[in-house]
Chain A
């Protein structure tokens, strides 16, 4: 998927936005004020977290509390990586995310299969896919542990990534989007002698830029944030992800808010950066998935 594709599909939104802005009425100021207040309230915990991460311990528990640190310090971020093992947790987390991208490819393939082919068992398979959305993780937790244990994948990063490799929601969004690709295009590719695999890789995937961007971000977020499976499956400390390391921080040093906030910030800030970079494609991708 090239950024070029993204830019081209992103373009049609712009003139409409400009036209809408031209029609601004007097009620707009109130709407904008409400939005700013809401955004401030919603994101307050983040600013609190980031500023607290840079506060010396005495300031973090001061009464009355101040939002901005008076004497900011990097001490606690340093502690995480030097004294604690957060460098290793970070590397493990990145590996889990990378394995998740294999799942992303599988979901795209399945979305294409369900959108553009007729085959025996299709409707029952798709119904089964959607039905898995209803299944609470508490139902599958114990059996999945037993299954992974039986094939020797407990205590491995692959085992941590496997249970959430594919999501029904992802397949659903891919299918919604790919059913809007014109059949004529796919037929033309086949006339030119492209096989199904070739058609998928060189026609379908490049045309699916927006939805791929959404799914890539969602896959990244899910892998980065996943907590339950790393907690249950990791076993030894060398396989911990950031989330498990952070949870331990909660128990070990419950009296040191600055260190906790520093740990939380290490988990949250990379996601926020990725998200801000991709967010316009996310709304676009959902729009194009026809979910209205």
Chain B
């Protein structure tokens, strides 16, 4: 009886734990507030001013310009171009990453044994590689004179491809590198999801005479719904923030063919030092990402109902 009382007391103390939970979550939440939330408020304020490099040194010269930056943004053809580039890459890139990751995860899971454990490392390599190293290696592979890729195409009788110098091919090239780099982590997440499905389901289906194909599409994939949803949402967000690959491989070229919104904002901010204008662009990007994400979350809720 005394144990029950003590347990009840302990449970009550966890409910009224006082300062403990705040001390636990405090440091992390504070760090995110300082470097995640506060900057948005600062950016919102800066977007209403003409802050530039001069204003950094002499704050008194900064002027409030209202919505002028946003008006300029809407009138800027380069901004619309960047929106289009980001949209095209996301529309092609998201399904590609999800399909590649899902296929790889299913194959690795089906294979099972030691071979799969060894091979899985190879698939994850791109995900853990620094973007700068990625850029150097792929730049070397894409090289038009002594690059490996054109040489390989040549050995099977195909013409060399202007990987980074043609506007359309440049989109394809940065897209290939991005898919290569993004698939690893998503494959891990999906593979973990697959391994979390109880074997009993598969065994029951097998007893009922379902073949591998049916078991994959009728049992494994549906049970993977939450992991697939998570992977899709985070992949959409990352393609809307597309930045690293064009920044290091093409610098947005040729002729702005690979200038994503993120890269456009970075250039306006750090190449032309128009911090006010760039902040306005960054907030528009944030709103786009928030709307797209909320639509997906809403879609899932309806799906569950």
Q: Chain A interface (Cβ within 8 Å of chain B)?
A: 13, 16-17, 19-21, 24-25, 27-28, 31-32, 34-36, 38-40, 42-43, 45-46, 48-49, 52, 60-65, 103, 106-107, 109-110, 112-114, 116-119, 122, 125, 128-129, 132-144, 146-147, 162-166, 168, 171, 183, 186-187, 190-191, 196, 200, 221, 224-225, 227, 232, 242-243, 246-247, 249-250, 257, 260-261, 263-265, 267-268, 271-272, 275-276, 279-280, 282-287, 289-292
- B244 neighbours in A (Cβ, 8 Å): 227
- A contact face: mostly helix, strand, loop, or mixed: helix
| B32-A132 in contact (CB<8A) | yes
| B111-A187 in contact (CB<8A) | no
| B130-A267 in contact (CB<8A) | yes
| B28-A110 in contact (CB<8A) | yes
| B28-A283 in contact (CB<8A) | no
Nearest CB to that of A200 among chain B residues?
B24
B223 CB–A CB distance under 8 Å: yes
* Among A122, A257, A286: residue with most chain B CB under 10 A: A286
Q: Which of B1-42 contact A (CB under 8 A)?
A: 3, 6-7, 10-11, 13-15, 17, 20-25, 27-29, 31-40, 42
A259: min CB distance to chain B, Å: 10
CA–CA, A183 to B34, complex, Å?
Answer: 32
| A117-B275 in contact (CB<8A) | no
- B29 neighbours in A (Cβ, 8 Å): 110, 125, 128-129
- A110 neighbours in B (Cβ, 8 Å): 24-25, 27-29
| A143-B39 in contact (CB<8A) | yes
Nearest CB to that of A163 among chain B residues?
B35
| A140-B36 in contact (CB<8A) | yes
Nearest CB to that of B7 among chain A residues?
A187
| B43-A139 in contact (CB<8A) | yes
Question: Which of B63-71, B162-170, B191-199 touches A?
Answer: B191-199
B146 CB–A CB distance under 8 Å: yes
Number of interface residues of B (CB under 8 A): 107
| A31-B193 in contact (CB<8A) | no
A126: min CB distance to chain B, Å: 9
- A32 neighbours in B (Cβ, 8 Å): 111, 115
- A162 neighbours in B (Cβ, 8 Å): 31, 35
- B14 neighbours in A (Cβ, 8 Å): 116-117, 183, 186-187, 190
Q: Contact partner of A133 among B108, B227, B237, CB < 8 A?
A: B237
CA–CA, A243 to B191, complex, Å?
Answer: 30
CA–CA, A171 to B24, complex, Å?
Answer: 12
Q: Contact partner of A292 among B116, B227, B293, CB < 8 A?
A: B227
- A109 neighbours in B (Cβ, 8 Å): 24-25, 27-28
| B279-A275 in contact (CB<8A) | no
| B121-A292 in contact (CB<8A) | no
| B192-A139 in contact (CB<8A) | no
A179: min CB distance to chain B, Å: 14
23 of the cross-chain contacts (CB-CB < 8 Å) are: A38-B104, A39-B122, A45-B126, A45-B180, A49-B136, A103-B31, A109-B25, A110-B27, A116-B14, A136-B240, A136-B243, A139-B282, A143-B42, A147-B38, A147-B39, A162-B31, A190-B10, A190-B13, A191-B6, A196-B17, A224-B130, A283-B188, A292-B194
Given known A-B contacts A64-B151, A227-B131, A272-B128, A48 and B117 have beta carbons under 8 A apart: no
Question: Which of B73-81, B88-96, B261-269 touches A?
Answer: B261-269
B210 CB–A CB distance under 8 Å: no
Q: Contact partner of A114 among B25, B104, B278, CB < 8 A?
A: B25
| A283-B132 in contact (CB<8A) | no
B112 CB–A CB distance under 8 Å: yes
- A191 neighbours in B (Cβ, 8 Å): 3, 6-7, 10
A28: min CB distance to chain B, Å: 7
* Among B107, B128, B224, B237: residue with most chain A CB under 10 A: B128
| A129-B32 in contact (CB<8A) | yes
| A43-B283 in contact (CB<8A) | no
| B141-A45 in contact (CB<8A) | yes
A184: min CB distance to chain B, Å: 9
| A264-B226 in contact (CB<8A) | no
| B128-A291 in contact (CB<8A) | no
- B279 neighbours in A (Cβ, 8 Å): 139, 142-143
**Given A38-B107, A141-B266, 16 further pairs, Cβ under 8 A:** A20-B113, A21-B112, A31-B110, A31-B111, A113-B24, A113-B25, A117-B14, A138-B243, A139-B285, A164-B35, A166-B32, A187-B14, A191-B3, A243-B132, A263-B136, A268-B130
- A117 neighbours in B (Cβ, 8 Å): 14, 17, 20-21, 24
- A20 neighbours in B (Cβ, 8 Å): 112-113, 199
- B275 neighbours in A (Cβ, 8 Å): 142
| A287-B27 in contact (CB<8A) | no
- A165 neighbours in B (Cβ, 8 Å): 31, 35
CA–CA, A271 to B126, complex, Å?
Answer: 11
| B24-A132 in contact (CB<8A) | no
CA–CA, A280 to B124, complex, Å?
Answer: 12
B230 CB–A CB distance under 8 Å: yes
A13: min CB distance to chain B, Å: 8
Sorted from nearest, which 10 A-B pairs have the closest CB atoms? A113-B24, A286-B192, A143-B42, A110-B28, A143-B39, A132-B36, A117-B21, A39-B122, A140-B39, A264-B133
